[in-house]
């Protein structure tokens, strides 16, 4: 989920559309530095005839206590008050920003005892509705004071429940109108994919409801479902951080590609700039920079991931470099081009785009005294590091290049001077020649197979040692998700991922491929050719899921490469077949409301869900999901072809691969690992 705050004016516009008779329609006018007051009065005649209230609309909390609300004034009073505020710097805590967006509304006369508080927010298995019979600026710690009711996913909030559980301290003459309002508000909250909605105060006076102050967040992933109902939505940055056109350009580029491209400017004058591959890696690099004392100089936050092509990476890199070279820093600047071990992103392709951008900005990089630190691994990373090293010989800017032999965040310490820059050590490459006829095996397949089946082994068809310990506890019912005989159906025509799974099966000495079928509703039934070792195998592709399930009753795993728009429906359909015990949902960007419905049904049916927004998981020696573990050279280097004794859970696909590498270097290897994903 991507919960994004919206302007108060936008939130009230949405409520105006759908609340109907349950509340007085909000009248408001937005004022900025460029506002033409004469035209504004023509558009909103009530501005010159009614008492008014004015306040900033910039995601600022506790505006009343900060002195940022002017109430019960006329139009001239609004202008006079704004003259000292609009376009001026204002400090809230440590954040300093300009007040530049205000909302003006009619003042609603009312008594203190007519103010109430209501808030709705979402979490994993339910929505929580908070209510307090006293609202306003002095409400204090509402979590301790308010009464609450949890509404489970898929259930309704009835007016009677509201009266019985939330309105017990509300005067009897206001209970009916409030219960109707809250019930209608909750329906809008669910239907329009809100993730947070707070009204304080909510005023009930003269028999009608007024929404005075409002704060709201929408699930941006639900935009494709609610675009028409929402209308045009701007998601403003937090107070104290300006929105840059470069951020909008990257967001537009991101919307046009299946890859993920994100950019947030934190401190345009900062010294430390990053160009990081992967969402998980971007968090770790930012945290490491802050831990080493670079927080005040961290200029940006973002990521490129999901296999962007050379042109997309080039545009992304150009945008970062254009921002980086706008202001000079007396100590020079640092560019960290980092990332974990990619699962499927072609490192050479992305690096060629970055190298092209670096060449275009060569003169500016020299003038700004930039030092570049690179660390990356994954598919074709050797070629990517080679072109980066060659660039360092001609660019005129120091470039330090490292691969998977160097810890992912080590380059941060090098860049900030907390550790020395070592000479790169040659890395012994692991190849997959043994997959070819006559190839010399780097790994003994016989030895691997024997290790899996020897008594007390951590792999094989039986439980791992961890699983055996869990099974010894009679109160825990535990069955392994994957074994050496696990069979999977793939939703989607992801032939590269399927071939990767078959290559992994062969490396692990499985007797049969783990993939038994593919489902793709946009083609007719046919068979697709793949390789199991050096032998050709034909895997059937079905148009209908029912046919695949009927003809392959031994398949108990479904790996879904469905798009974010079709993943929900295809997952719900899959759970109608009792043979499926595990579903891995690769797609990211699925709205949280839909994900919660999937999870609820999965719990009811005893199905394990991995994802959404996951690369999958791996059980060495048994089975891997999709692109997990990356290419064969990484699988061999990380010893993922046979079981170890370390298990892990990761939120990030790239970081799960990084864990595979770290664990293999320091222990006997991985026994099971999963990237649980998640968009929140």
Domains and CATH numbers, the chain: 19-106 (3.30.470.110), 112-230 (3.30.470.20), 245-416 (3.40.50.261), 452-675 (3.40.50.720)
Residue 55: CB atoms within 10 Å:
21
Distance CA 197, CA 184 (A): 13
Distance CA 505, CA 520 (A): 23
pLDDT of residue 680: 56
Q: How far apart are the C-alpha atoms of 278 and 654, rounded to whole Å?
A: 6
User: Rounded to an integer, what distance in angstroms lies between the CA atom of residue 132 and that of residue 160?
Assistant: 17
Contact 341, 658 (CB under 8 A): yes
* Alpha-carbon gap, residue 310 to 193, rounded angstroms: 35
Q: Which of 203, 211, 237 is nearest to 101 (CA)?
A: 237
DSSP string of 300-311, one letter each residue:
EEEEEES---HH
The Cα–Cα gap between 247 and 261 comes to 10
CA angle 442, 447, 453 (to 5 degrees): 145
Point out the residues of the chain with pLDDT beneath 50. 1, 428, 430-477
What is the Cα–Cα distance from 643 to 456, expressed in whole angstroms? 12
CB 679 within 8 A of CB 592: yes
> Which residue is associated with the tokens 């793709």?
520
Buried b (16+ CB within 10 A) or exposed e, 653-668: bbbbbbbbbbbbeeee
Measured distance CA(521)–CA(488) in Å, rounded: 17
What's the pLDDT at 608?
Answer: 95
Cα 511 from Cα 132, distance rounded (Å): 64
Q: How far is residue 587's CA from residue 563's CA, in Å, rounded to a whole number?
A: 6
pTM: 0.84
Q: Which helix (H) or strand (E) holds 537?
A: strand 535-542
User: How many whole angstroms separate alpha carbon 591 and alpha carbon 151?
Assistant: 18
User: Exposure pattern of 272-311 as b/e (b: 16+ CB <10 Å)?
Assistant: bbbbbbbbbbbbbbbebbeebebeebbbbbbbbbbbbebe
Of 212, 216, 191, 195, the closest CA to residue 203 belongs to: 212
Can you give the pLDDT at residue 388? 96
Q: Is 95 helix (H, G, I), strand (E, B) or coil?
A: strand
Q: Per-residue DSSP letters for 638-675?
A: TTTTS--SEEEEES-HHHHHHHHHHHHHHSS-EEEEEE
Measured from the Cβ of residue 107, the count of other Cβ atoms closer than 10 Å reads 16
Q: Could you tell me where the beta strands, DSSP code E, fall in 133-189?
A: 147-152
Task: Order the strands of the 616-619 sheet from edge to edge.
Answer: 623-624, 616-619, 670-675, 646-650
User: Which pLDDT score, from 0 to 100, does residue 632 have?
Assistant: 87
Q: What angle is formed at CA 445 by the lines to CA 442 and CA 450, rounded to 5 degrees?
A: 135
CA atoms within 13 A on the CB side of 225: 20
With beta carbons less than 8 A apart as the criterion, state whether 256 and 239 touch: no
């Amino acid at each position: 989920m991507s919960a994004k705050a919206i302007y108060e004016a936008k939130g009230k516009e949405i409520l105006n559309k759908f609340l109907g008779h349950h509340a007085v329609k909000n009248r408001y006018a937005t004022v900025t530095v460029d506002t033409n007051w004469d035209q504004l009065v023509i558009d909103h005649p009530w501005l010159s005839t009614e008492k008014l209230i004015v306040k900033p609309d910039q995601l600022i909390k506790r505006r009343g206590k900060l002195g940022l609300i002017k109430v019960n004034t006329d139009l001239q009073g609004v202008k006079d008050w704004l003259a000292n505020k609009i376009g001026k710097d204002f400090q809230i805590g440590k954040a300093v920003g300009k007040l530049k967006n205000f909302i003006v509304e009619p003042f609603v006369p009312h008594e203190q005892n007519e103010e109430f508080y209501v808030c709705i927010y979402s979490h994993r298995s339910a929505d929580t509705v908070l209510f307090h019979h006293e609202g306003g600026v002095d409400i204090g710690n509402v979590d301790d004071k308010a009464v609450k009711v949890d509404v489970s996913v898929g259930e309704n909030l009835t007016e009677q429940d509201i009266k019985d559980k939330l309105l017990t301290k509300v005067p009897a003459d206001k209970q009916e109108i409030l219960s109707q309002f809250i019930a209608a508000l909750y329906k809008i909250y669910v239907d329009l994919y809100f993730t947070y909605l707070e009204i304080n105060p909510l005023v009930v006076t003269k028999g009608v409801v007024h929404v005075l102050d409002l704060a709201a967040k929408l699930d941006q992933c639900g935009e494709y479902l609610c675009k028409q109902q929402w209308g045009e939505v701007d998601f403003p940055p937090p107070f104290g951080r300006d929105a840059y056109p470069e951020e909008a350009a990257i967001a537009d580029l991101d919307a046009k590609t299946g890859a993920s491209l994100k950019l947030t400017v934190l401190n345009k004058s900062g010294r430390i700039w990053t160009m990081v591959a992967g969402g998980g890696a971007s968090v770790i690099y930012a945290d490491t920079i802050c831990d080493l004392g670079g927080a005040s100089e961290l200029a940006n936050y973002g990521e490129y991931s999901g296999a962007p092509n050379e042109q997309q990476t080039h545009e992304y890199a150009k945008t970062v470099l254009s921002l980086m070279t706008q202001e000079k820093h007396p100590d020079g600047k640092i560019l960290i081009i980092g990332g974990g071990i990619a699962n499927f992103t072609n490192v050479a392709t992305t690096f060629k785009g970055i190298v092209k951008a670096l060449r275009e900005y060569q003169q500016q990089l020299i003038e700004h005294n930039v030092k570049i630190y690179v660390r990356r691994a994954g598919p074709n990373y050797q070629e990517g590091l080679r072109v980066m090293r060659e660039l360092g010989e001609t660019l005129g800017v120091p470039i330090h290049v490292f691969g998977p032999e160097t810890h992912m965040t080590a380059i941060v310490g090098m860049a900030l001077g907390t550790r020395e820059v070592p000479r790169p050590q040659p890395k012994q490459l692991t190849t997959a020649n043994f997959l070819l006829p006559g190839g010399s095996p780097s790994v003994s397949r016989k030895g691997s197979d024997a290790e899996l089946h020897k008594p007390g082994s951590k792999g094989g068809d039986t439980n791992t040692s961890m699983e055996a310990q869990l099974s010894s506890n009679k109160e825990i019912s535990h069955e392994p998700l994957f074994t050496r005989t696990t069979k999977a159906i793939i939703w989607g025509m992801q032939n590269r991922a399927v071939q990767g799974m078959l290559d992994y099966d062969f490396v692990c000495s499985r007797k049969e491929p783990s993939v038994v079928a593919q489902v793709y509703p946009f083609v007719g039934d046919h068979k697709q050719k793949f390789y199991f070792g050096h032998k050709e195998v034909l895997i059937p592709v079905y148009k209908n899921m029912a046919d695949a399930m009927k003809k392959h009753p031994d398949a108990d795993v479904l790996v879904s490469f469905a798009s974010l728009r079709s993943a929900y429906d295809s997952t719900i359909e899959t759970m109608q077949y009792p043979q499926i015990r595990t579903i891995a949902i690769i797609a990211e960007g699925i709205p949280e409301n839909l994900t919660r419905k999937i999870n609820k049904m999965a719990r009811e049916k005893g199905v394990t869900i991995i994802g959404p927004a996951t690369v999958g998981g791996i059980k060495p020696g048994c089975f891997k999901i999709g692109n997990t573990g990356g290419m064969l050279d990484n699988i061999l280097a990380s010893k993922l072809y046979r079981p170890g004794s370390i298990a892990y859970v990761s939120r990030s696909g790239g970081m799960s691969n990084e864990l595979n590498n770290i664990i293999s270097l320091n222990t006997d290897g991985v026994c099971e690992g999963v990237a649980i994903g998640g968009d929140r």
